[in-house]
Amino acid sequence: MATADLNPGVITPSAPPGNGLLVLLAAMTPEQLDSVFAKLTVSFPGEELLIATPDAISEALPASAHPSFRIVAAPASNTAWTLIATDFVNAYQLAEKHEARAILVLGSESGSLSSFALRQLANAALGPTDLAVPCYDLPPHAGLVNSAILYPLTRALFASRVRFPLAVDLGFSLRMAKRLADAAQHFTAINQGETPLWPVNEATEAGFTIEQFDVGSHVQSSRPDFNTIFPLVIASLFSDIKAKAAFWQRFRPLSPASIAIPMPPAPTIDTAADIAPMLSAFRLAYSNLHEIWSHVLSPNSLLMLKRLAATDAAAFRLSDNLWARIVYDFLLAYRLRTINRGHLLGALIPLYLAWVASHFNITASGANPEGHIEAVAAAFETEKTYMVSRWRWPDRFNP
């Protein structure tokens, strides 16, 4: 991959960065770029910093404002909401070209992170840690797909406590970058470069060290299209789990908690979300998608969903174990291609909305949201034996 100089006055020939760190930025607006540059200036005072960005450095952001930065061009990514396979290939190639020892990848909204957090991620990557991941402090009604599926599934199968497995801000060592680039090349070779990659799963499988840092609040301004992104993310995670089946089927103890996960307060009545549209979506799906669900879910799960569909909004609770089994059954159906994969993941959306409605009901009753998410993750761990049994003997094992 060739990198083109953006501004000849700014770019210096490829030489190792002062501290060995390459900062790779996502595509940003000038305001976002300005904010990130300001944070990096505070994080790395007086240090020479190699920054790769796909954005053109214009007059609005003169290079003279940040004399310690060496700015090089990076290929633009088509996807802003997450890191994709192409990003990891580019990151490794840039790191090799500029002889960097570690890489700090920052998403388009990383300007909202604290300077201290950026420094922590960079220091960890430059130190003995292979993968430094952020733990965002999100509001209770944010990051719900992560809380419902990504985090519990990653924790149960890969024994990792990383709270945000699909974080867009990451720090990683050169060997981790190589590992990720190798994994990413499988996708780029078959023109699937926009597939999200799962760094935590890769690091766990490789036996690399992972460290998680509390980076504070994270402002999200973009709103990706849910109906498009949800199947894409879940399909990518399911495929990754399928590819690493030999690894996660062996029992591994859960890594000890390194940091205290920020506990957002339970939402008050004023901030509680309206669950009525979600419940109506679930009930509509129950009356229409029952036939499709019956190909995937066990009769017991279907019976419990039937009862749930008839439950009042106030008493609506999707039990954690039922949710874990639903996700596992969909994962198995994905593996076995029980039905078309696009249909399968589309049929999961109403069930996910039922989980969200149930989660909101539980938190509205005074329970801490993070406490409930931890309970869901624990249920996934409990049900892992069911998952492993069905994975090994899909025809013989009938619940």
Partner 1 sequence: MQNILAVLLQLDPNQSSRSLFAGDTSIWHNMADALHQSLDRVLLLLIAVLPGILAFLVALAVFTLIGMAVSALLRRGLAAAKLDERLVDERGNSNWAPSTSPTALIARASFWGCVLLGLIIGVLAFDASYATTAILSSSLLPYLTRIVGAAVLLIAGTLIARFLARSVLIGAVNEQLQYARFLSLGIKWLVLVLTAAMVLEHLEIGGNIVGLAFGILFGGIVLTLALAVGLGSRDLVSRSLESRAEHPGQSSAPPPTAIADDSIRHF
CA 39/CA 114 separation, integer angstroms? 7
Tokens of 395: 């025809």
- Which residue, 18 or 224, is less far from partner 1 as judged by CB? 224
Check residue 239 for interaction with partner 1 (CB under 8 A).
yes
Considering only 89, 122, 285, 305, the residue that binds partner 1 (CB under 8 A) is 285
Which of 223, 250, 307, 396 is close enough to bind partner 1 by CB under 8 A? 223
Rounded to whole angstroms, the Cα distance separating 158 from 75 reads: 32
Return the number of the residue (143 or 171) whose C-beta is nearest partner 1.
143
353 touches partner 1 by CB under 8 A: yes
Residue 274 binds partner 1 (CB under 8 A): yes
Which one among 45, 277, 299, 399 touches partner 1, defined by CB under 8 A?
277
Q: Which residue stretch of 44-52, 94-102, 108-116, 271-279 sits at the interface with partner 1 (rule: CB under 8 A)?
A: 271-279
Output the smallest distance, CB 265 to partner 1, in A: 16
- Tell me if 271 contacts partner 1 by CB under 8 A: yes
Among 156, 356, 373, 387, binds partner 1 (CB under 8 A): 356
By the rule CB under 8 A, 224 interacts with partner 1: yes
Compare residues 171 and 193 and give the one whose CB is closer to partner 1: 193
Q: How far is the CB of 359 from partner 1 (least distance, A)?
A: 11
Instruction: Record the tokens describing residue 75, joined without a space.
Output: 């290929």
Beta-bridged to residue 172, according to DSSP, are 103, 131
What is the rounded CA–CA span in Å between residue 137 and residue 214?
A: 8
Q: Choose, by CB under 8 A, the member of 111, 171, 193, 350 that binds partner 1.
A: 350
| Residue with Cβ nearer partner 1 (159 or 243) | 243
Q: Which region among 12-20, 97-105, 153-161, 237-245 touches partner 1 (by CB under 8 A)?
A: 237-245
Measured CA to CA, the distance from residue 278 to residue 267 in angstroms comes to 18
**Binding span for partner 1 by CB under 8 A among 4-12, 90-98, 274-282, 302-310:** 274-282
Stretch that binds partner 1, among 39-47, 109-117, 308-316, 336-344 (CB under 8 A): 336-344
Give the type of residue at 221: S
Residues numbered 287 to 326 that lie near partner 1 (CB under 8 A) are 287-289, 292
Return the amino acid letter for 253.
P
Cβ-count burial of 215 within 10 angstroms (0-12 exposed, 13-18 middle, 19+ buried)?
buried
CA pair distance 222, 338, nearest whole angstrom: 35
Pairing of strands 69-73, 49-53: parallel
Site string for partner 1, 3-42 (x = CB under 8 A): ----------------------------------------
Quote the least distance from Cβ 354 to partner 1, whole Å.
Answer: 10
Residue from 30, 68, 226, 397 touching partner 1 (CB under 8 A): that is 226
Using CB under 8 A as the criterion, which residues of the chain lie in contact with partner 1 when the complex forms? 81, 138-139, 141-146, 183, 185-187, 189-190, 220, 223-224, 226-227, 229-230, 233, 239-240, 242-243, 271, 273-274, 277-278, 280-281, 284-285, 287-289, 292, 335-337, 339-343, 346-347, 349-350, 353, 356, 394
